[in-house]
Structure 1
Amino acid sequence: MNFRQRSPVWAALVLCALATPVLADDLTAEVMHPWTSGGESAAAKVFADKFTAAGGVWIDRAIAGNDALLAAAMNRIIGGDPPSASHFNTGKPFEELIEAGLLRDVDTVAKSEGWAAVIPKVFLDAVTRDDKIMAVPINLQTENWIWYSREVFEKSGVGEPPQNWDDFFAAADKIKAAGYIPMALGGGSWAERFVFQKVLVSVAGPELYLRVLKDRDGEALKDAKVQEAFAVLGKLRQYADSGAASRKWNDATNLVITNKAGFQIMGDWAKGEFAAAGLTPGKEYGCTLFPGQEVSIMSGDVFVMPKLKDAQRTQAQDLLAHVLFAPETQIAFNIKKGSNPIRQDVDVSSMDVCARHAAEVLKDPARQVPNPQFLMTNDGLGAVRDVITTYWNTPAMTPGEFSDALGKVLASVD
């Protein structure tokens, strides 16, 4: 998709940074991202429209799915045909590109706009190398949400959202008995890993979560609360339907939207799908953080800027960085995407009740829990994901056997 309506108005800050004036037509940015669902596409269009209005030309390169996008972006950047910008998840995924010297920093824009003062420290550290900001952070996602259909709750005799795991299982049993899918799940090992990390924090707490996934502490795996978390994870298997294996995450969200399923465990980007369907949180659907812990498992999206040989395309990258991080862009994008602005200096009062609650939780550093992508490399995370998938798809496997298998993998990963 090529958004070509341009304005003669330039972003003043970026104009000052340009060495020589160029025509707006020369400020072309080819942008790779994985956002193809309804809510995601609407969010991507915010970036495209804002960049166009600032005088740029946005060339859209959408590739469905984070894994597919990651592979395509890495191949192009390493292969010498880089885009102007590419989406990555915050954390370790773009580490090897930095080490290979294939990414440029965005410090000229970041320092002139004071980014460091408004980005949460854990995210600032994740995008900074040798005191230079190496990627444009665009949002802050809270991953440990449970989304639920208020209609399914009502028709199944479920009252308030669950306050603990006994409540959750009791509600799921009622939903199942009423003929609905208790837990809508998307297929793929990433979705199973996703549920695992949320349950681990919810049952065992942030300290044990970090001891397991950050410190790779074998003794922590033997803790009674960790073993309880693994038992809860195993029990959840029975509440996913047989169609989960071949289902995309947004199709799972649609089961809640259309009142065919009671719950979905998914990050706040699911809210973008509800918004695209015209639904309002607190009315047709509800949101609650995982029972047991009022914390935020944090993740986020960034755009990296590969080194380019063309000076005008490099100037377009500066304009793009400015546009992506601008306060008005942050609000408009994250309303569509369902996430929270990465900037901590913007007013979130215009956002929905779920986003406002997440913002309150995130004010407390003690309630900020990093996603595993902050804690280990892609290869390490892939190995962990494989053993989680084995456990999820092997009902006969006990929590103790899973714990032993996970311990062996964790002892071997970076």
Structure 2
Amino acid sequence: MSNKTTRLALALACAFGAAAGAHAQANRAEVLHWWTSGGESAAVKELASAYTAAGGTWVDAAIAGGEQARSEAVNRMVGGKPPTAAQFNTSKQFLDLIDQGMLNNVDAVAAKNNWDKILPAPILSSIRIKGHFYAVPVDIHMPAWFWYSKAAFAKAGIAAEPKTPDEFFADLDKLKAAGLVPLAFGGQPWQEKVTFYAWLAHVGGPDMYMKLYRDKDAAMVMTPQFKALLTSFKRLHNYVDAGSPNRNWNDATAMVISGKAGVQIMGDWAKGEFATAHQTAGKEFGCFPGFGPRSPYLVAGDVFVFPKITDPAQVKSQQLLATVFTSPATQVAFSNKKGSIPIRTDVDVKSLDLCAQQGVTIMKDISRQLPTPEMLISPDLEGSLQDVITKFWNTNESADDAAKAIAAALKNG
């Protein structure tokens, strides 16, 4: 081969290699998330598989713990080495990033796929900021479900799901008498917070719930009715076991799966753990979304935001992620593993389990939908209220003093 021919071949090879590299880079996506439990890992693989099938290269960046993962995402953005996409909750958690111009929008994907017509109002209001879509929703979670072991209920002589708080406490007493852990619980601040607002919505009711989180009504907090709600919430502590402090949520779910515990109050992400354990809703475990036929349905979920990146290849990857995550097939496959329900209202959900089917039906009734606190208050106020609830749950503080602390947090927030 002549020198001229060799140079030409090398030039063509380099050009081909550069083109191939650019193509690979255009589809490469580093996705930072906190899904590390068994059910969560199975679910995120559905997203990765769908992205790969669409021609992408998925680079998994899993970090255990929501707060840790979000901090890592922000630190990397500030440091100039952002991931392609980062997980946040459907909330106000990423508003500061928008204000600081640190996120790309996905308006083109939203317009092409008619997000304003297929997404529920609480989701839309959280991801569409100042007229632009800055996050892609991947699921709808309801954080206030009750999960119970059929075997544990049978052992305790419980024949039907409780329809009122009084019936629920009576069932907890029966579970305790049967030598079981009545309430599977993880004593971590975020779990204490979720249990509190679930109890507030189900027992205090939507009006009291919205007066606290939407209206920040400090006067309502000091009423006898709210203090009674605090007292009934603290009563739940009588039914947790000594090993609950610092227990992870999925370990508490495992107690229900094994039949060691009777009930867990937790979001429907817990259902992914039942699925991983090869248990079936209505057979080994049961679920109910609240007390009575008109219980409120809290709407929460997860989103991915897209850091401000100017590289066209990475922007293309962000757009592809947004498209794939919200496609009908991906939504159904992901929901089946995650325990959530699809964010779209136009997908076939026949393959979902009976708990998810119940959730989908309820979501059609807009009057039962309640936004989670994260959608209504700032992260700072949320943190302050969480601190109050954690102290109240873990000490002998009175309901009156806890109410005063909540009212003070509202006034300062």
Name the TM-score, length of structure 1 as normaliser. 0.92
Distance in structure 2 (CA, Å) of the matches to 1:288 and 1:258: 19
- Establish whether residue 157 from structure 1 lines up as the match of residue 149 from structure 2: no
Residue range with higher mean Cα deviation, 255-264 or 160-169? 160-169
Distance in structure 2 (CA, Å) of the matches to 1:281 and 1:217: 39
Distance in structure 1 (CA, Å) of the matches to 2:353 and 2:400: 41
> Amino acid of the residue matched to residue 370 of structure 1?
P
After superposition, give the CA deviation of every residue in 1:212-260 in whole Å (9 maximum; x if it has no partner): 1111112221344322221111100111111111210000000000111
Structure 1: segments with no counterpart, 5+ residues: 1-20
Provide the residue aligned with 1:276 in structure 2: 276
Structure 2: segments with no counterpart, 5+ residues: 1-20
Provide the residue aligned with 1:133 in structure 2: 133
Quote how far apart the aligned CAs of 1:179 are: 1.2
Distance in structure 2 (CA, Å) of the matches to 1:153 and 1:242: 21
Quote how far apart the aligned CAs of 1:156 are: 1.2
Distance in structure 2 (CA, Å) of the matches to 1:34 and 1:255: 22
Provide the residue aligned with 1:339 in structure 2: 340
Provide the residue aligned with 1:191 in structure 2: 191
- Establish whether residue 406 from structure 1 lines up as the match of residue 406 from structure 2: yes
Provide the residue aligned with 1:94 in structure 2: 94
Question: Counterparts of 1:79-118 in structure 2 under 5 Å?
Answer: 79-118=79-118
Q: Higher Cα Rg: structure 1 or 2? A: 2
Aligned residue-pair number: 392
> Amino acid of the residue matched to residue 210 of structure 2?
L
Contact 2:146 2:265 in 1 (8 A): yes
> Amino acid of the residue matched to residue 377 of structure 1?
S
After superposition, give the CA deviation of every residue in 1:159-193 in whole Å (9 maximum; x if it has no partner): 21111111111111111111111101112100001
Provide the residue aligned with 2:246 in structure 1: 246
Per the alignment, in what secondary structure is the counterpart of residue 245 of structure 1? coil
> Amino acid of the residue matched to residue 152 of structure 1?
A
Distance in structure 1 (CA, Å) of the matches to 2:361 and 2:112: 28
Contact 2:86 2:306 in 1 (8 A): yes
Quote how far apart the aligned CAs of 1:22 are: 5.8
Contact 1:146 1:266 in 2 (8 A): yes
Distance in structure 2 (CA, Å) of the matches to 1:208 and 1:330: 33
Distance in structure 1 (CA, Å) of the matches to 2:320 and 2:306: 12
Distance in structure 2 (CA, Å) of the matches to 1:152 and 1:358: 24
Per the alignment, in what secondary structure is the counterpart of residue 51 of structure 2? helix
Distance in structure 2 (CA, Å) of the matches to 1:96 and 1:78: 13
Distance in structure 1 (CA, Å) of the matches to 2:314 and 2:216: 43
Distance in structure 1 (CA, Å) of the matches to 2:224 and 2:123: 32
Quote how far apart the aligned CAs of 1:362 are: 1.2
After superposition, give the CA deviation of every residue in 1:296-317 in whole Å (9 maximum; x if it has no partner): 1110100001111321111111
Provide the residue aligned with 2:322 in structure 1: 321
Distance in structure 1 (CA, Å) of the matches to 2:73 and 2:331: 24
Tell me the C-alpha RMSD between the 2 structures: 1.3
Name the TM-score, length of structure 2 as normaliser. 0.93
Question: Counterparts of 1:196-207 in structure 2 under 5 Å?
Answer: 196-207=196-207
Provide the residue aligned with 1:378 in structure 2: 379
Contact 1:203 1:226 in 2 (8 A): no
Per the alignment, in what secondary structure is the counterpart of residue 83 of structure 2? coil
Per the alignment, in what secondary structure is the counterpart of residue 173 of structure 2? helix
Provide the residue aligned with 1:310 in structure 2: 311
Distance in structure 2 (CA, Å) of the matches to 1:233 and 1:324: 37
Question: Counterparts of 1:263-302 in structure 2 under 5 Å?
Answer: 263-291=263-291, 294-302=295-303
> Amino acid of the residue matched to residue 374 of structure 1?
M
